Amino acid sequence: MSAHLLENLNPEQRAAVTLPHESALILAGAGSGKTRVLTTRMVWLIQTGQVSPHGVLAVTFTNKAAKEMMTRISAMLPINTRGMWVGTFHGLANRLLRTHYREAGLPQSFQILDSQDQLSAIKRLMKAMNVDTEKYEPKKVQRFINGHKEAGRRARDAEAFDEYSMRMAELYEAYDAQCQREGVADFPELLLRSYELLYRNEPLRQHYQDRFRHILIDEFQDTNTLQYRWLKLFAGPHTALFAVGDDDQSIYAFRGANTANMAEFEREFAHGNVIKLEQNYRSHGHILTAANTLISQNAHRLGKNLWTAEGVGEPIRVFEAYSDQDEASFVVDEVRALNREGMSLSDMALLYRSNAQSRVLEHALFSASVPYRVYGGLRFFERQEIKHALAYLRLLTNPEDDGAFLRVVNFPARGIGARTLEQLAVSAVRSGTSLWQAACTGGGKMAGFAKLIEDIKQATRDLPLAEAIDHVVEASGLADYYRADKDGADRLENLNELVNAATLFAEESEEGTLDAFLAHAALEAGEHQAGAGHDALQLMTVHAAKGLEFHAVFITGLEEGLFPHEQSANEENGLEEERRLMYVAITRARRRLYLSHAQSRMLHGQIRYSLPSRFMDELPEQVLLNLNRRSEPAYPSSTLRGTSGYSAPAPAPRSQSQHGNDTGYRVGQSVAHAKFGTGIIIDFEGRGSDARVQVKFREAGTKWLALAYAKLSPA
């Protein structure tokens, strides 16, 4: 039976599955069959009598992965898997606490708070303590508490060096006391409480160390500091740890993932016992060559090289668009061509670095009647911040819209509570008016809100559509609210993209009014996302794509500042994580991969010029097929062709000063400078010997240069 179990494994997979009773690090590359190795290892240990099903502890990160693992085990072994300890970190921590609730200091039927429940509990506490919620925002308090818990610190250990942080630590301590009184635990508490239980209770710790002779961990590169410490408490002197992971796919530093845990595990447990799974069963050779070459630029990695027996396959197609709309049109044409050739839409994925990028792509797909589905997220016009902004806009055109009124009357928070709104609703019903009319005749904070809307209405009366929307986003407080939110950067980008959408709509529409734009938004929000089970193109961020694979993958927006993201320059090892993210994106593709970038992209209602991503320069030229055929270096010509027969329209004519007149240089042209390196011309002024250009350099930033002295050359 065990021989049959091993017969379809490659030598490295077989070596990992049949390891003797010792700890090891399994460095599993993308598409190398790591889940199969992990589950087969468990089955082999049980089948060969080395351990009972109850002597195995297997940990993964998602319920989906845990369920898949259990399903595979059940298919290979005639046993009841229900009693096995296979699950997520939080699921197993909950199981431990349920079993030993007395020792953990919890009631037997303790309840678990999800993120929203936790925030509500914090708000209730702060109200009882009469805490100023403008100075100490509940969401920031929540992040403070969870951040310390995930680092293994209680309130007494929290860093408190000024009045603000000392008050936050007091709130953390008070929150813990409230949870203890009420018999509830939030998600970070599950792991921290179970860690503390095992740490201080030596007999219990000894019991589990004796029980679990084999511990297997999936996606080890995603573990944070506390999770690794939690795992180590289960490891006794006779425990074998089998950690499977890929440091090249560690992309969750923003969630606390510590890729250094892999190197530390090798030193502490594996002692150099590392097995590399490098044979890839997903992608063709050119795709893997690109991925290997790219990731080799990272200095801090354990090192491996993916290969395949499936042949080199097709070259990677590269397209340079002159605008983000041009890029979206190209993608739509290629998707339709592939679909006509027989590839289902669901076998194609459209990836982007930032959620805000989806708006232009969604619009192009909607206009072309291509069914799509946003995986792991919402369509652009369904996102919370966009619906808030649209509600403010709806109030400007129709103050009688009670739905819009209720959505934003207290968002951002302005001290208008549920009780006040109930009284307002009663007053409106009695007088037979809308909530808005009732608010206008009221007083206090409700009157302040009514004045805010009237002031915005007056200020935007004569503004162009995009400027009006920009003003609403700022004056309503939405922009400041998301700027102050640690996790609000993506939402702020989406609000900026709403301004871009209005700019484009005003250019394309015969009636560029606010009413017409709201109708347009409602139509795009209400249609074309495919229903469950229907064939549809998959749209998602690169983060959401991890663990998935598709026949054809489009990676869009490959421009400096976008991918890699501009914030990566300010973060330790930020560029290396961005490169790992690109590696993940590339390795999602089985057969065909497209890389695209745009010379210009609309940002906050204005055209901005960008350099191609540095990642494009890090790919080997021999695996790339450039779909552009340019007669001049500044723009794609009208003869550009993609594989679907796509023809890029010529760029709009520019003014004499922008275009470069008698100097030979023009906006959008790539240039090189001896001191500043390569860049792209983004503005131009003057004539002849007095002309100067503004150049956005890859490394040196944006600079104005006099052409008479700059010594620029075409790049």
38 - beta bridge partners? none
Based on its alpha-carbon atoms, the radius of gyration of the chain, rounded to whole angstroms, reads 29
Q: What are phi and psi of 25, to 5 degrees?
A: -105, 125
Q: Is 573 left (phi over 0), alpha (psi -120 to 50) or beta?
A: left
- What tokens were used for 445? 């904070």
CA distance 661 to 663: 6
CA distance 329 to 450: 43
CA distances (Å), origin 10, targets 272, 430, 525, 700: 21, 77, 48, 49
Instruction: Please name the residues in contact with 198: beta carbons below 8 A apart, sequence gap of 6 or more.
Output: 96, 204, 205, 208, 230, 233, 234
Q: Is residue 578 within 8 Å of residue 565, measured between CB atoms?
A: yes
CA distance 495 to 469: 9
- What tokens were used for 631? 């007669």
> Percent helix, strand and coil across the chain, each rounded to 5?
50, 15, 35
Centroid of chain to Cα 567: 14
CA distance 159 to 144: 10
Q: Are strands 550-555 and 316-321 parallel, antiparallel or unpaired?
A: unpaired
SS3 324: helix
Residues labelled catalytic? 34-35, 218-219, 249, 588
CA distance 494 to 697: 26
CA distance 431 to 117: 37
